[in-house]
């Protein structure tokens, strides 16, 4: 008899059933779990030490309706998150946000990142940002392609600014103007 019990890595529903909503503090544990996977396994973030829920509370609380955190949910399970953060605390940068998003590895390649990025761009437009910027570490051609799909332009590369997994890493800067 074939075992039909899903493993923890198998998706539980189709991507068209994914909803994007504002993150709740009660979901911070799921957000941290996804982020910690990215820390341990990718150069998408230059953090090298795993985070705890308590260490991420200030980050979570620094976001609001203008600079939100959103989550992608499928069957009430958080499978991805994204945020718009302040680019800088300097007043002249008001109107500029930095986006980032991370997808649970079980849902890579299923359009979840597309839905998160689409929502972040929509929020940026509705919140009257002048521009959103994104820093993409490493050789993430898929992320660069996805950003271009939503109108981001490549505005430069910071060469050799990261060192993770014993590899010197470039960071690609991308930007969308509204």
What's the number of domains the chain is made of? 1
pLDDT value of position 33: 98
pLDDT value of position 5: 39
- Cα–Cα distance, 128 to 28 (Å, whole number): 27
pLDDT value of position 139: 79
In a domain, 67, yes or no: yes
User: Which has more confidence, 146 or 9?
Assistant: 146
In a domain, 53, yes or no: yes
Number of neighbouring beta carbons within 10 Å of residue 63 = 17
Domain holding 20: CATH number? 3.40.630.30
In a domain, 68, yes or no: yes
pLDDT value of position 140: 85
User: What does pLDDT average to over the chain?
Assistant: 92
How many CA atoms does the CB half-sphere of 97 hold within 13 Å?
26
Tens digits of per-residue pLDDT, 10-19?
444 455 699 9
**Residue 53: domain span:** 15-129
Q: What residues are paired with 153 via a beta bridge?
A: 175
Contact 49, 61 (CB under 8 A): no
φ, ψ (nearest 5 deg) of residue 60: -60, -45
In a domain, 98, yes or no: yes
In a domain, 20, yes or no: yes
In a domain, 174, yes or no: no
pLDDT value of position 16: 61
Tens digits of per-residue pLDDT, 131-171?
999 999 987 899 999 999 999 999 999 999 999 999 999 99
In a domain, 119, yes or no: yes
Structure tokens at 52: 């705890």
In a domain, 173, yes or no: no
Its pTM stands at 0.89
pLDDT value of position 10: 46
Burial of 7 from C-beta contacts in 10 A (0-12 / 13-18 / 19+): exposed
Structure tokens at 68: 């939100």
Contact 89, 62 (CB under 8 A): no
Q: Which among 50, 37, 123 is positioned nearest to 85, based on CA atoms?
A: 123
């Amino acid at each position: 008899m074939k075992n039909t019990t899903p493993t923890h890595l198998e998706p539980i529903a189709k991507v068209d059933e994914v909803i994007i909503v504002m993150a709740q503090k009660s979901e911070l544990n799921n957000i941290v779990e996804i982020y910690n996977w990215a820390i341990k396994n990718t150069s998408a973030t230059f953090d090298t030490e795993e985070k705890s829920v308590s260490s991420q509370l200030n980050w979570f609380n620094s976001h609001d309706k203008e600079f939100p955190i959103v989550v992608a949910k499928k069957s009430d399970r958080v499978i991805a998150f994204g945020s718009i953060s302040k680019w800088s605390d300097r007043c002249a940068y008001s109107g500029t946000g930095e986006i980032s998003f991370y997808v649970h590895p079980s849902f890579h390649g299923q359009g979840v990142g597309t839905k998160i990025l689409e929502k972040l761009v929509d929020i940026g437009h509705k919140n009257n940002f002048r521009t959103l910027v994104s820093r993409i570490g490493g050789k993430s051609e898929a992320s660069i392609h996805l950003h271009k799909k939503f109108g981001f332009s490549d505005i430069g590369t910071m060469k050799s600014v990261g060192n993770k997994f014993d590899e010197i890493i470039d960071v690609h800067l991308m930007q969308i103007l509204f």
